[in-house]
Amino acid sequence: MKNIKVLGTGCANCKNTIKLLEAVAHQKGVEIHVEKVEDIQAIMRYGIMSTPGVVIDEHVVHAGGVPSQSKVEGWLAGGDAS
């Protein structure tokens, strides 16, 4: 199971990012746990300058704009299968 955090102050792009993550995970049958981080101080601790940001297992993998579907598929495919 992957722990994914979506960093963003609640704009439309953040919501779309979460939807996309869940859709791809569902499609691929990958189990994920998505957490929304909306507190600005918590967001800034990851050092990103544009939102939404995506953090997988405490690594920032994306910042700024909704990630492309192929990018999301790459994240969910890579790494362990546990």
Partner 1 sequence: MNMNMTAVARKWPDIHPREFLVMAAVFWVALYWALAPASEALVAALPVDRASHLGGALQFFVYDTPKVLLLLTGIVFVMGMVNSAFTPERTRVLLAGRTEGVANVMAASLGVVTPFCSCSAVPLFIGFVQAGVPLGVTFSFLIAAPMVNEVALTLLFGLFGWRIALLYLGLGLSVAILAGWVIGRLKMEPYLEDWVRDMPRIVARADALRLTLSDRVEAGFAAVREIVGKVWPYVLVGIAIGAAIHGYVPETFMASFMGKDKWWAVPLAVIVGVPMYTNAAGVIPIVQALLAKGAALGTVLAFMMSVIALSLPETVILRKVLKVPLIATFVAVVTAGILLVGYVFNAVL
Among 3, 9, 22, 77, binds partner 1 (CB under 8 A): 9
Q: Cα–Cα distance between 61 and 76 in angstroms, integer?
A: 12
Positions 39 through 78 that interact with partner 1 (CB under 8 A): 40-41, 43-44, 47-51, 64-66, 68
Cβ proximity of 74 and 32 under 8 Å: no
17 binds partner 1 (CB under 8 A): no
Q: Is residue 27 involved in binding partner 1 (CB under 8 A)?
A: no
| CA angle at 43 for the pair 41 and 47, rounded to the nearest 5° | 105
Please tell me the number of Cα atoms within 13 Å of 14 on its side-chain side: 18
Using CB under 8 A, list all residues that contact partner 1.
8-11, 13-14, 40-41, 43-44, 47-51, 64-66, 68
